[in-house]
Amino acid sequence: MAALFLTGLSLLPDTAFGQEIPSLKDTFRNDFGIGTALNMAQIEEKDPQMTAFIVRQFNMATPENIMKSGLIHPKWDTYAFEPADKLVEFGKKHNIRINGHTLIWHSQLPPFVRGIQSRDSVRAFFTNHIKTVAGRYAGKVFSWDVVNEALNEDGTMRKTVFLQHLGEDYVTEAFRLTQQAAPNTELYYNDYNNEQPAKRAGCIALVKKIQAAGVRIDGVGIQGHWHVGRVPLKDIEESILQYAALGLKVMITELDIEVLPRNFQGAEVSRQMAANAESNPYPDGLPDAVQQQLAADYQALFRLFLKHKDKITRVTFWGVNDGLSWLNNWPVRGRTNYPLLFDRKNQPKPAFYKVVSLK
Q: Any idea which residues carry the catalytic annotation?
A: 149, 254
Listed residue (92, 98, 97) closest to 64, CA to CA: 98
DSSP 113-143: HHT---HHHHHHHHHHHHHHHHHHTTTTSSE
Are 103 and 147 in contact, with CB atoms under 8 Å apart?
yes
Backbone φ and ψ for 127, nearest 5 degrees, come out as -70, -50
Listed residue (312, 293, 82, 101) closest to 219, CA to CA: 312
β-pair partners for 312 = 250
CA–CA separation, 185 and 320 (whole Å): 25
Residue 254, exposed/middle/buried by CB under 10 A (0-12, 13-18, 19+)?
A: buried
CA–CA separation, 98 and 20 (whole Å): 26
β-pair partners for 258 = 227
Are 71 and 46 in contact, with CB atoms under 8 Å apart?
no
Residue 288, exposed/middle/buried by CB under 10 A (0-12, 13-18, 19+)?
A: exposed
Q: How far is CA 258 from CA 83, 115, 325, 336, 359, in A?
A: 29, 36, 10, 11, 25
Phi/psi class of residue 159: alpha, beta or left (left: φ > 0; alpha: ψ in -120 to 50)? beta
Q: How far is CA 53 from CA 59, 68, 80, 319, 347, in A?
A: 11, 26, 28, 13, 10
